[in-house]
Structure 1
Amino acid sequence: MRPLRIGLMGCADIARRRVLPAIAAAPDAELVAVAGRDAARAADTARRFGGRPVHGYEALLELADVEAIYVPLPPALHARWVEAALRAGRPVLAEKPLTTSAAETGRLLALAAERGLVLMENVMFVHHGQHAVVQKLVAEGRIGEPRSFHAAFAIPRRPDGDIRHRADLGGGALWDTGLYPVRAALHLLGPDLTVAGATAERGPGREVDTWGTALLRSSGGVAAHLTFGLDNAYTSGYALWGSEGKIIVDRAFTPPADHRPALLLERPSGTEELVLEPDDQVARTVAAFVAAVRNGSLAPGAADCLRQAELLDDIRTTRGVSCPR
């Protein structure tokens, strides 16, 4: 079967650094067109990763040889252009967050389902094999009954001109980095989580939240303590505490393809290090999208995508959170 022909809508850094190299290396995917606001950047992206530059996002959707669309635009632009792609009959892989509200996310997922099209949010870490190992350890009772979950994803201070600082483009720490620990809690604890509390802070001169925390609670009483930030020492990991032990995962959210995960399983009898084989979560994500399109199946993680959006809405609107709408 020939590769899935993909059109790029926007030449964002995440696309050029991670996703486009994975598409270029995938045997079942091919970049055939690149649309960007900056003609020179679009031409350079096409030269590096394949395809041809196209002037304007509308023009990309008119190309007959483009079968699917990858959308790495700023979050505030997702709803408009994801909808346009779906109405043009194209399945879509969209960068996270899919939109900046649960209502918009639900509407687009419903539109995709109505039209029989794949709409997949690009949360790549859930495709990494290390998290399946954690789920297996928990299911086997290796830590007893889960009691609490602690997750953090934060990055050092971004330059002043970074789009993450712009409210009109959907910036802010919650949507950029907070999404990861929220999704990890959903992935490991299940969908019946509610927001028990949250805080967010803005750095001097910022118009969006710069760092924050959230406390979620499952119906069974398991608490999820989440930390996120755009102005923090780098951290990317989680720990799941149980009645009889603890699992610690470092480099949980953005491990490079050659990283060998080393999970720590702490029990009263001692600590065991479980060293796993490297796994390429970006390649796995591209493969999952292509497979869903080819098989005519629902996009992986659609239900979690919507529940995640609902929780992010609740965190944002919880008293004390200063994230912009």
Structure 2
Amino acid sequence: MSVRLGVLGAAKILQTAVIDPARDVPDLTVTAIAARDLDRATALAAQHGIPRVLADYDTLLADPDVDAIYIPTPASLHGLWTARALAAGKHVLCEKPFTANADEAARIAALADGTGLVVMEAMHAQHHPAWARVRELLDQGVIGEPRTAEATFLVDIADRGDIRWQQALGGGALMDLGVYPLRFLQTVFGTPVVRAASAVEVDGVDGSITVRLDLPGGVDGTVRASMVQDQPEAEATIVGTTGTLRVHLPYHPQMGGHLVVETADGRTQEQLDPTPTYVFMLRAFAEAVLHGGPVVTDPAEAVRSMRVVDAADVAAGLSPRQPVEG
């Protein structure tokens, strides 16, 4: 038996996040796609062997031959379509960030509770064993007691027509990029408290943002995210009382990621599993749907994360994004 996944929309992320990794997940099959741009959906289906193209989202949700829905719409629409998918009795894999803001995340979590349906945020990197490995090394005391932790995700999104530059659609550096380093620190240390934040506004959204955090255990945390960085950077650095742990490419370790531990005794480097993060995510989703496996990136986890995001927005003088209401 395989999870029959329907795709709601023809987003650019689709091939990377679902179509390609699904080939390595025998328990999950992409069986249908619906998009407002029917020509684009038809072309994608033909290119990637998706059996059926449906005329609209509602037809997809009503399809009895679809078990679960993948939602890669803009963030401001995530809550709306997750709610509709749940009402249609479908399991949901929703792109990150889970919703436009924390209040909406809490509403969706309440809707999902008790339905018996799997709702998973597609925070793919959290499913890769790299993050658990970092926690394991810290528990082993390889760098002593952690004192500071910084995680960064800096890129250049030059196309100002990209939806990530549209505030009304849930755009901005924090929502698109910053959620990764925030979730990394949350996973490794526990839910943080926002101490301060500052943002640089570019074309109506936070083009870059820095967030200062108080992490559990007295760790001083920093997150930096940017959509206007000429030199890309995706790193995490944890400094302890006896050493430093660095992770290169913590959000996409399949692209040559590694971790390095440096202490007075020397330097050790460990390559990270090259299996795509998305494969781990889809495996976990299929296991949860078919066999009741654990949902690591569940709505409760998403609510905790979105509360931190909203607090960072407020601290930086920004307004939390608002959802599109149905």
Identify whether the pair has TM-score above 0.5, normalized to the shorter chain.
yes
Segments ≥4 residues shifted beyond 3 Å: 319-325
For 1:80-99, list aligned pairs within 5 A: 80-99=80-99
Q: Give me the whole-angstrom Cα distance separating, in 2, the residues matched to 1:29 and 1:300.
A: 18
For 1:125-204, list aligned pairs within 5 A: 125-191=125-191, 193-203=192-202
- Answer yes or no: is the 8 Å Cα contact 2:21–2:282 preserved in 1: yes
Other-structure match for 1:113: 113
Of 295, 320, 323, the residue aligned with 2:291 is: 295
- Answer yes or no: is the 8 Å Cα contact 2:157–2:228 preserved in 1: yes
Q: Give me the whole-angstrom Cα distance separating, in 1, the residues matched to 2:220 and 2:279.
A: 32
SS at match of 1:107: helix
Of 305, 317, 320, the residue aligned with 2:317 is: 320
Of 213, 216, 221, the residue aligned with 1:216 is: 213
SS at match of 1:155: strand
Quote how far apart the aligned CAs of 1:53 are. Answer: 0.8
Other-structure match for 1:237: 235
Other-structure match for 2:304: 307
- Answer yes or no: is the 8 Å Cα contact 2:190–2:216 preserved in 1: no
How big is each residue's C-alpha offset from its partner over 1:34-85, in whole Å with a ceiling of 9 and x where there is no partner?
0001011110121123121111111101111000000000101111111000
Q: Give me the whole-angstrom Cα distance separating, in 1, the residues matched to 2:272 and 2:164.
A: 33
Q: Give me the whole-angstrom Cα distance separating, in 2, the residues matched to 1:127 and 1:248.
A: 19
User: Residue type matched to 1:182 in 2?
Assistant: L
Quote how far apart the aligned CAs of 1:219 are. Answer: 4.2
Pick which of 271-280 and 124-133 moved more. 271-280
User: Residue type matched to 2:26 in 1?
Assistant: P
SS at match of 1:237: strand
Q: Give me the whole-angstrom Cα distance separating, in 2, the residues matched to 1:37 and 1:291.
A: 30
- Answer yes or no: is the 8 Å Cα contact 1:198–1:321 preserved in 2: no
- Relative contact order higher in (CA < 8 Å, ≥ 6 apart): 2
Report the TM-score when normalising by structure 2.
Answer: 0.94
Q: Give me the whole-angstrom Cα distance separating, in 2, the residues matched to 1:85 and 1:108.
A: 11
Query: Is residue 252 of structure 2 the alignment partner of residue 254 of structure 1?
Result: yes
- Answer yes or no: is the 8 Å Cα contact 1:200–1:323 preserved in 2: no
Other-structure match for 1:16: 15
- Answer yes or no: is the 8 Å Cα contact 1:32–1:66 preserved in 2: yes
How big is each residue's C-alpha offset from its partner over 1:215-266, in whole Å with a ceiling of 9 and x where there is no partner?
010243211111001111211110111111111011111233xx45331101
- Answer yes or no: is the 8 Å Cα contact 1:292–1:300 preserved in 2: no
Quote how far apart the aligned CAs of 1:207 are. Answer: 1.6
User: Residue type matched to 1:252 in 2?
Assistant: P
User: Residue type matched to 1:143 in 2?
Assistant: I
Quote how far apart the aligned CAs of 1:322 are. Answer: 6.3
User: Residue type matched to 1:80 in 2?
Assistant: L
SS at match of 2:253: coil
Q: Give me the whole-angstrom Cα distance separating, in 2, the residues matched to 1:243 and 1:74.
A: 42
Query: Is residue 269 of structure 2 the alignment partner of residue 273 of structure 1?
Result: yes
User: Residue type matched to 1:22 in 2?
Assistant: P
User: Residue type matched to 2:195 in 1?
Assistant: A
- Answer yes or no: is the 8 Å Cα contact 2:199–2:316 preserved in 1: no
User: Residue type matched to 2:51 in 1?
Assistant: G
Q: Give me the whole-angstrom Cα distance separating, in 2, the residues matched to 1:292 and 1:80.
A: 23
Quote how far apart the aligned CAs of 1:289 are. Answer: 0.6
Report the TM-score when normalising by structure 1.
Answer: 0.94
Other-structure match for 1:103: 103
- Answer yes or no: is the 8 Å Cα contact 1:215–1:225 preserved in 2: yes
Structure 2: which 5+ runs fail to align?
none
Other-structure match for 1:29: 28
* Number of positions where the alignment pairs a residue of Structure 1 with one of Structure 2: 319
RMSD of Structure 2 on Structure 1 (CA):
1.6
Q: Give me the whole-angstrom Cα distance separating, in 1, the residues matched to 2:236 and 2:176.
A: 17
- Answer yes or no: is the 8 Å Cα contact 1:71–1:82 preserved in 2: yes
Structure 1: which 5+ runs fail to align?
none
Q: Give me the whole-angstrom Cα distance separating, in 2, the residues matched to 1:213 and 1:322.
A: 16
